[in-house]
Amino acid sequence: MDRAIIFDVDGTLAETEEGHREAFNTAFEQAGLAWSWDQDLYRRLLAVTGGKERIRYFIEDFGADGAPQDNLDEFIRALHAAKTTAYTELVGAGRLVLRPGVRELISTASECGYRLAIATTTTPANIDALLAATFGDAGQGLFEVICAGDSVPNKKPAPDVYLRTLEELGLPPGRCVAIEDSRNGLLAACAAGIPTIVTPSLYTGGENFEEAAMIAEHLAAVDFADIEKLFG
Ligand code: XBP
Ligand code: MG
């Protein structure tokens, strides 16, 4: 089959951002920082994709105290590594489930011979933890291509991660459909020329999705036949 469905992870496969927010706050507490991101602040910080970039954004644009003047890169790297440990532990404890329709769509697409890929801003360890927690051992071989995190120079809304995914699939954008939850993700997929389905999530519900090929509350509300119509 020369068609592929490319899934975003956070907010699309599962409602993960509350787990990320909890993990950030755990890492801040472990580091002795008086930082705590509530939902209103986190919604604003989600304008920046990538956990390390989000921490830097908080320090530089929200006047956070406690970060060192020098070796800031190492400070952020270490803090984010602690966050990733906290996040993968809560995912491994079974705290997250797939969004409605995700498992069924993956199953139907696989049965129909569609190739499956992931294009995400998140850290690879987070994907491994989520796939193991939600698919068990079967999660390992489910996605033919996984492009994530720092593997590309520019994170969403830049198209880099989708362009890299297309390259690894060896497919043109018209033979793919992307599934996203956020405007940053929609812009990234559209900039790569990929028709995109948006299923808004907890933190993205009010965003502008005018470029989407389809908008649905969740994937359980989408007929596979309607997805097939989106392919060139
Ligand atoms: C969402 C992101 C990520 C997560 C946090 O990624 O922007 O940064 O919020 O994960 P996507 P990390 O929607 O593209 O899956 O801390 O590992 O970045
Ligand atoms: Mg997302």
pLDDT band (50, 70, 90) for residue 107: very high
64 and 166 co-located in one domain:
no
Q: What is the average pLDDT across 173-197?
A: 98
63 and 160 co-located in one domain:
no
- If you ran DSSP here, which 8-state letter would residue 14 be given? B
50 and 152 co-located in one domain:
no
Q: What is the average pLDDT across 50-69?
A: 96
65 and 106 co-located in one domain:
no
78 and 187 co-located in one domain:
no
Q: What is the average pLDDT across 211-225?
A: 98
- Tell me, in angstroms, the distance from the centre of ligand 2 to residue 181's CA: 5
- Tell me, in angstroms, the distance from the centre of ligand 2 to residue 12's CA: 6
Q: Compute the distance between CA of residue 122 and CA of residue 148 in angstroms, rounded to an integer.
A: 6
Nearest atom in ligand 1 to the alpha carbon of residue 23 is: 16
The pLDDT of residue 1: 81
113 and 134 co-located in one domain:
yes
* Locus of tokens 């933890």: 129
Tens of pLDDT along 14-52? 999 999 999 999 999 999 999 999 999 999 999 999 999
- Backbone CA torsion sign across 185, 15, 79, 132: negative
Is residue 10 annotated as a catalytic residue, yes or no?
Answer: yes
Examine the fold and report which residue of 49, 73, 92 is the final residue of a domain before the chain moves on.
92
Examine the fold and report which residue of 77, 92, 107 is the final residue of a domain before the chain moves on.
92
pLDDT band (50, 70, 90) for residue 232: confident
Nearest atom in ligand 1 to the alpha carbon of residue 24 is: 16
Radius of gyration of the chain from its Cα atoms, rounded to whole angstroms: 17
Residue 200, preceding peptide bond in cis (omega within 30° of 0): no
Look up the CATH number of the domain holding residue 168: 3.40.50.1000
The domain containing residue 206 runs over which residues? 4-15+97-228
Is residue 181 annotated as a catalytic residue, yes or no?
Answer: no
126 and 81 co-located in one domain:
no
- Tell me, in angstroms, the distance from the centre of ligand 2 to residue 203's CA: 10
Is-contact 178 154, C-beta < 8 A? no
- The domain tally of the chain equals 2
Question: Which residues does a 6 A CB cutoff place in the pocket of ligand 1?
Answer: 8-11, 17, 20, 49-51, 120-123, 126, 156, 182, 185
87 and 142 co-located in one domain:
no
* Locus of tokens 């389809």: 214
Q: What is the average pLDDT across 110-124?
A: 98
Which helix or strand (DSSP H or E) is residue 51 part of? Answer: helix 51-61
Choose the catalytic residue: 10, 73, 128, 181.
10
Residue 11 has pLDDT above 90, yes or no: yes
Q: Compute the distance between CA of residue 129 and CA of residue 122 in angstroms, rounded to an integer.
A: 12
- Backbone CA torsion sign across 201, 22, 62, 73: negative
Residue 78 has pLDDT above 90, yes or no: yes
The whole-chain average pLDDT of the chain stands at 97
Look up the CATH number of the domain holding residue 40: 1.10.150.240
42 and 128 co-located in one domain:
no
